[in-house]
A and B are shown apart, each in its own frame.
Chain A
Amino acid sequence: MRIPRDERSNERALVRGAQRGSASDLEALFRLHWPRAHRAAYLVVHDAAAAEDIAQESFLAAIRALDRFDRRRPFGPWLHRIVVNRAIDWTRARQLRGEAELGESLAAPEQAPPLDRTLLAAMAELGPEQRAVVVLRYLLGYTPGEISELLSLPRGTVNSRLRRGLDELKENV
C-alpha cells in the first residue's frame, strides 16, 4: 500500500503526539483509521456488532501498545494486522461455538438499513481467510507481498487465495 509522503509524516506526527498524551492527535488518528478498520472487520466477519467490537478492541489494543510503537513504521498496517487477525479468529471461534440466535429476548431496535446483498452474499460464501485476503488487497490496497507479511503467510498462499477468491466472487455475483 503506497502512502504519500505528506500523509506518512502527518501520521508520524499524530502518533508522536498521541504517545505524548495528546487527545486531539489520538482523535485525528481515530478519524483517519476507524472507517477502514471497521469496514475491513465487517467484510470479514459479516456481523455489524462483532465488527464494531473488533475494530474498537483493536484500537484499544493499539492504545495499550502505543508507548512501544516504533514511530518509523506506518500506523495503518499495524492496526490492520490486528483488525484482520482478530476478525479471522472471531469467525473461526463462532464456527466452533455454534452460535444461536434468539428472536425476542431483547427489545427490537429501529429497522436496520438494508444490506447490499450482492457482493456481501458472495463474500459470505468465501472462507474467513479468503475474505481477509480479498479485503486486504481490494479494500485496503496492500500488495500480495505486504499481505503475506501482515498475515504471516507464504506469498504463494496469498496469491492462490486471492485467485480462488476472485474466481468464486465472479461466479456468485
Chain B
Amino acid sequence: MRKELEWIEIPDEHEARQRAWKVVSAAFAEREPTSRRRSWRTPVLVAAAMAVIAAALSPPGMAVLGEVRDAVLPTRIQRAQPVVTLPAPGRLLVVSAERGGVWIVNEDGSRRRLGAFEDASWSPFGRYVVATTRDRLITLDRRGRERWSLTRARPSWPRWGGTRTDTWIAYVVRSQLRVVAGDGTGDRMLAERVSSPPAWRPGRAQVLAYVQADRLRVVDVNRRREVWSRRLVQPASALHWSAGGRRLAALSQTAVSVYDGASGRLVRRIDFAPPAFPRGKSVGLPISAAFAPSGHDLALVLRDTRSSFRSRIVLVRGAAARGPIGLFAGAGEISDLAWSPNGNWLLADWRGADQWIFLRMRERVAGVARVLAASGIEAQFPRPDGKGPLLWLAERWRVGP
C-alpha cells in the first residue's frame, strides 16, 4: 500500500518543488525572529485578585471589578459566519463605499468590521490600516483600535507606504495632496490640483507618484525634490507601482502607459482605442489594474465600448511585447482586482453578478484554468441603509504578521 501511494505520479512534481523552494527560501531570508508570546495569565490573575479584594472592601469596588475585566480579560470575539474563504494566505481589506464600512476578511472567511469609514488602505506590512471619515484621517490596528487621528475636512484616498522603519501616509483634501509621517507627526501639504489617488513606490519610504493637472510627477517627499515628471496625453485616473517599484502604470481613459520607475522613461503604452484596434471591433477600455506581486505582469479590467454590460479581465505580460491575454469575460460590471500575496490567485469583484471570482494564475494542470466563485457578496458586507455595497479591493490583499 505504501509503495503504491509513493508511486502515484503527481503532475508537475519537480517544478512544484523548485517553485516552492524559491518561495520558502525567500520567506526565510526575510523573516524576523519572533519574540516569545507573553502569557496573559499572570497579569490577569493579579488583576482579578486585586479586583476581588477591592470589591470586598467597598461598594465602588464592584465598578473596579468591571473596569479590570474590560481592560484585562481577553475579549470573546464574535466571528461572522465564514462564507468567502480566501484560496491563499493573507488578509483582504474591503471597503464598502459611502460609509458602508471597512472590513478585514481573513483567510478562513472570518470578517471584522473596523467601522463606518469611507476609504482605507493597509500599512506597508499589513499591521495597521489608515482610514478616512467625513472629517478625520484615522490609523487603526487590525482590531479596529484607534492609534491616532487628524481632523481634516473630507480627506480622501489615504495611502500608506514605506519601510519597516520609516512610513508615510499620503492623502488628499479638496485636491490638495498632503503627507504625514506614520506616527501622525509632520503633516504638511505637498501639492495642489491633484486629481487622482497618489501611489507610494514600494520599498522606498519617501518616493510618491501623483498626477497634478496634466503631469505625472514622482517626488522624494523627504528631500522635497522631484525625481522625474512626464506630461500626460490624457489625464490618468489611477497609478499602480509594480511590487519592486521598477515600473509605474498610469491608467487613462483609453490607454495604459507603463514607465520605468527610476527614470520615468516610457517603457510601454497600450492603446485600447482605435486605430490601435481594427475598426468595428469591440474595444475594452481600462477600468482598473493591479500589478502581480512579483515581476511586471499587469492585470486589467476592460469594459466593452460597444456594450457597457460586458467586462473582460486581461493580463499584460511584463516581459513580452505581445498584446493582452484574455483571462475572463463576463456580463455586467467587473470593478476591481486584487492579487493574492503569493501571486497564485487574482481576485476580481464581479459586481454585475454579485460575485467574487478567484482566477488561478499559476500554470494549469491538464490544460484547465480554474476559477473559484463566491456569490452573495452584498449580503456578506451589509450596509446600514440596506443598499448594495460598492466594494473596493485594489491591491488590498496583504500578508500581515
Q: Verify if B277 is at the interface (C-beta below 8 Å from A).
A: no
**Contact assessment for B25 and A101 in the assembled complex, using a CB-CB cutoff below 8 Å:** no
**Contact assessment for A59 and B20 in the assembled complex, using a CB-CB cutoff below 8 Å:** yes
State how many residues of chain B have any CB contact under 8 Å with chain A: 55
Given known pairs A63-B31, A138-B1, the reply for A48 and B16 (CB within 8 Å) is yes
**Contact assessment for A113 and B11 in the assembled complex, using a CB-CB cutoff below 8 Å:** yes
**Contact assessment for B344 and A53 in the assembled complex, using a CB-CB cutoff below 8 Å:** yes
Given known pairs A67-B34, A102-B371, A112-B366, the reply for A52 and B20 (CB within 8 Å) is yes
What residues of A have a CB within 8 angstroms of the CB of B344 in the complex?
49, 53
**Contact assessment for A102 and B374 in the assembled complex, using a CB-CB cutoff below 8 Å:** no
A68 to B36, CA, bound (A): 7
Segment from B118-126, B208-216, B268-276, B320-328 that makes contact with A: B320-328
Chain B positions 82 through 122: 1 when the CB is less than 8 Å from some CB of chain A, otherwise 0: 00010111000000000000000000100000000000000
A63 to B32, CA, bound (A): 10
Judged by DSSP, the binding face of A is helix
What residues of B have a CB within 8 angstroms of the CB of A103 in the complex?
368-369
**Contact assessment for B24 and A102 in the assembled complex, using a CB-CB cutoff below 8 Å:** no
**Contact assessment for B10 and A42 in the assembled complex, using a CB-CB cutoff below 8 Å:** yes
Chain B nearest Cβ from A96, distance in angstroms: 8
Given known pairs A48-B10, A97-B374, A113-B11, the reply for A138 and B2 (CB within 8 Å) is yes
A112 to B364, CA, bound (A): 9
The chain A residue sitting closest to B367, CB to CB, is: A108
**Contact assessment for A47 and B365 in the assembled complex, using a CB-CB cutoff below 8 Å:** yes
Given known pairs A39-B5, A39-B10, A107-B325, the reply for A68 and B34 (CB within 8 Å) is yes
Given known pairs A105-B327, A119-B4, the reply for A112 and B20 (CB within 8 Å) is no
Q: Verify if B231 is at the interface (C-beta below 8 Å from A).
A: no
Chain A positions 126 through 154: 1 when the CB is less than 8 Å from some CB of chain B, otherwise 0: 00000000010011010000000000000
Which of A56, A66, A89 lies at the interface centre, i.e. has the most chain B CB atoms within 10 A of its CB? A56
Chain A nearest Cβ from B326, distance in angstroms: 7
**Contact assessment for B24 and A116 in the assembled complex, using a CB-CB cutoff below 8 Å:** no
A18 to B25, CA, bound (A): 11
**Contact assessment for A139 and B13 in the assembled complex, using a CB-CB cutoff below 8 Å:** no
**Contact assessment for A97 and B372 in the assembled complex, using a CB-CB cutoff below 8 Å:** yes
Chain B positions 1 through 15: 1 when the CB is less than 8 Å from some CB of chain A, otherwise 0: 110111111111100
Given known pairs A48-B16, A115-B11, A119-B5, the reply for A102 and B88 (CB within 8 Å) is no
A158 to B121, CA, bound (A): 46
Chain A positions 46 through 87: 1 when the CB is less than 8 Å from some CB of chain B, otherwise 0: 011101110111011001111110000000000000000000
**Contact assessment for A38 and B16 in the assembled complex, using a CB-CB cutoff below 8 Å:** yes
Interface residues on A, range: 35 or more
Q: Verify if A106 is at the interface (C-beta below 8 Å from B).
A: yes
Chain B nearest Cβ from A144, distance in angstroms: 15
Q: Which of A99-125 contact B (CB under 8 A)?
A: 99-109, 111-116, 119-120
A63 to B89, CA, bound (A): 14
Q: B4, B25, B327: which contacts A27 (Cβ < 8 A)?
A: B25
**Contact assessment for B16 and A39 in the assembled complex, using a CB-CB cutoff below 8 Å:** no
**Contact assessment for A38 and B367 in the assembled complex, using a CB-CB cutoff below 8 Å:** no
A119 to B5, CA, bound (A): 8
**Contact assessment for B36 and A115 in the assembled complex, using a CB-CB cutoff below 8 Å:** no
**Contact assessment for B16 and A52 in the assembled complex, using a CB-CB cutoff below 8 Å:** yes
Q: Verify if B33 is at the interface (C-beta below 8 Å from A).
A: yes
**Contact assessment for B372 and A99 in the assembled complex, using a CB-CB cutoff below 8 Å:** yes
The chain A residue sitting closest to B401, CB to CB, is: A64
What residues of B have a CB within 8 angstroms of the CB of A27 in the complex?
21, 25
**Contact assessment for B25 and A106 in the assembled complex, using a CB-CB cutoff below 8 Å:** no
The chain B residue sitting closest to A43, CB to CB, is: B5
A139 to B13, CA, bound (A): 17
Which of B28, B342, B368 lies at the interface centre, i.e. has the most chain A CB atoms within 10 A of its CB? B28
A18 to B33, CA, bound (A): 11
**Contact assessment for A49 and B370 in the assembled complex, using a CB-CB cutoff below 8 Å:** yes
What residues of A have a CB within 8 angstroms of the CB of B16 in the complex?
38, 48, 51-52, 55
Could you list 8 examples of A-B contacts with CB < 8 Å? A48-B12, A60-B24, A64-B34, A99-B370, A109-B365, A112-B12, A114-B9, A138-B2
- Taking beta carbons and an 8 Å cutoff, which residues of A are in contact with B? 18, 23, 26-27, 30, 34-35, 38-39, 42-43, 47-49, 51-53, 55-57, 59-60, 63-68, 89, 93, 96-109, 111-116, 119-120, 135, 138-139, 141
